[in-house]
Structure 1
């Protein structure tokens, strides 16, 4: 998991670079998106909501 301050902007940059990104989606504790690195490892990008926590 990688915590970011703006998962939406990061996803747009990744998609523009050709990365397949799943999400982001809104969850009770914040926003989350998933992607897979070239070795097949699953990675998550997370922006915590101001009132939520992991």
Structure 2
């Protein structure tokens, strides 16, 4: 019975890590998209200044 509990706990942990990773990837994508949108609508001088990023 202990082995079953250990396997279940490992599966729950793996699902939790995957959920956290997927959430972080989504947040990063949203942040990049927001920055790109802000850059498109930014003043040309500011756009030039941030071009190297």
TM-score range, shorter chain: under 0.3
Name whichever structure is richer in helix by fraction: 2
Larger radius of gyration: 2
**Higher RCO, 1 vs 2 (CA within 8 Å, ≥6 residues apart):** 1
Greater strand proportion? 1
Structure 1 length normalisation: TM-score?
0.25
TM (norm. structure 2) is: 0.25
